[in-house]
């Protein structure tokens, strides 16, 4: 059994990611008190009503003041401003960590403002649903999922170990990874698929040759396929802006494969088409 115990955890942004961490740690007895911090009173009220957190406040300075661990779970582009605003109010020795989907951009936003007596551990739990807000949070979101931590040369080993224990208490397998590798791997397996889904839905939606909504003819496969194209536009704008270089590289790689396939279709090259589809099925089946 883990000996992790966090007296007070502050969660900034009580949505699916932050709220579920709170619920998971409360369920495993790894935390004493969780304060939820946010800007919208309605969502905070809901979080308190559903007992997602133990107390709530819209006052960032007061909320983080005596927290041992502060978890930032806001959209990627607001992590820097929030960390900067909270910094003077953190207690000495406090650990600051985050759940941003992009890591280099977050580190670049936060480390220049980091106090010498505060520890920062950049992180990214790979979990989620298409829902958001405190109501979407649930204690088992992280069970069996991976959480990636990307320490920098400035990251304190003891703080890293504590954040690792925190995610393990929430049910995650923790992977410690180089920052650049994180951003490239996520560009490939998460950010690129979202771009593809968004482009697909827009391309099909714009196909109005028959002056009716042909999306209505779509069957199960297409609906599953485009579920992720209904994800939050602000979140994905931020991810695209902050992981631009790796994402553009992966989009270029996808374009090359798609063009190869289109050429094979146009030429009616049956052997190459079969091999293209067979290879995809093989690598996809291997991850099941």
List binders of a second copy among 133-192 (CB under 8 A).
145-146, 181, 184-186, 188-190, 192
State in angstroms the smallest separation of the CB of 10 from a second copy.
26
286 makes contact with a second copy (CB under 8 A): yes
211 makes contact with a second copy (CB under 8 A): no
61 makes contact with a second copy (CB under 8 A): no
42 makes contact with a second copy (CB under 8 A): no
Cβ atoms of 53 and 27 closer than 8 Å? no
108 makes contact with a second copy (CB under 8 A): no
State in angstroms the smallest separation of the CB of 186 from a second copy.
8
Which tokens belong to 285?
């089946």
How far is 33 from 168, CA to CA, in rounded Å? 18
In 3D space, the residue among 120, 101, 167 whose CA is nearest the CA of residue 175 turns out to be 167
Output 153 or 217, the one with its CB closest to a second copy. Answer: 217
Count residues near a second copy (CB under 8 A).
91
- List the one residue from 19, 82, 127, 131 that touches a second copy (CB under 8 A): 127
Output 116 or 287, the one with its CB closest to a second copy. Answer: 287
Within 13 Å, how many C-alpha atoms sit on residue 103's CB side? Answer: 26
- What is the DSSP track for 158-189? HHHHHHHHHHHHTTPEEEE--HHHHHHHHIII
115 makes contact with a second copy (CB under 8 A): no
Residue 138 CB coordination number (10 Å): 16
How far is 223 from 230, CA to CA, in rounded Å? 11
State in angstroms the smallest separation of the CB of 177 from a second copy.
9
116 makes contact with a second copy (CB under 8 A): no
28 makes contact with a second copy (CB under 8 A): no
226 to 255, contacts with a second copy by CB under 8 A?
A: 226-234, 236-237, 240-241, 244, 247-248, 250-255
62 makes contact with a second copy (CB under 8 A): no
State in angstroms the smallest separation of the CB of 8 from a second copy.
30
State in angstroms the smallest separation of the CB of 122 from a second copy.
17
268 makes contact with a second copy (CB under 8 A): yes
């Amino acid at each position: 059994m883990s000996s992790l115990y966090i007296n007070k955890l502050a969660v900034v942004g009580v949505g699916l990611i932050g709220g579920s961490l709170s619920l998971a740690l409360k369920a495993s007895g790894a935390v004493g008190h969780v304060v939820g911090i946010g800007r919208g009173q309605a969502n905070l009220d809901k979080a308190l009503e559903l007992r997602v957190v133990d107390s709530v406040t819209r006052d960032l300075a007061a909320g983080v003041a005596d927290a041992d661990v502060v978890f930032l779970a806001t959209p990627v582009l607001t992590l820097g401003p929030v960390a900067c605003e909270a910094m003077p109010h953190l207690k000495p020795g406090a650990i600051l960590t985050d759940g941003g989907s992009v890591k280099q951009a977050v580190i670049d936003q936060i480390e220049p403002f980091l106090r010498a007596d505060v520890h920062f551990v950049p992180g990214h739990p790979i979990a989620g649903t298409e829902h958001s807000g405190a109501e979407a949070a649930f204690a088992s979101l992280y069970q069996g999922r991976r959480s990636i931590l990307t320490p920098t040369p400035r990251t304190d080993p003891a703080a890293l170990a504590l954040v690792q224990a925190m995610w393990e208490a929430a049910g995650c397998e923790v992977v410690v990874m180089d920052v650049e590798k994180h951003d490239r791997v996520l560009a490939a397996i998460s950010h690129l698929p979202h771009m593809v889904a968004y482009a697909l839905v827009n391309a099909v939606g714009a196909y109005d040759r028959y002056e009716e909504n042909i999306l209505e003819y779509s069957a199960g496969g297409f609906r599953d396929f485009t579920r992720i194209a209904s994800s939050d536009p602000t979140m994905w704008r931020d991810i695209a802006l902050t992981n631009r270089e790796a994402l553009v590289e992966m989009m270029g790689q996808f374009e090359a494969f798609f063009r190869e396939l289109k050429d094979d279709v146009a030429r009616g090259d049956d052997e190459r088409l079969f091999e293209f589809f067979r290879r995809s099925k093989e690598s996809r089946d291997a991850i099941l």
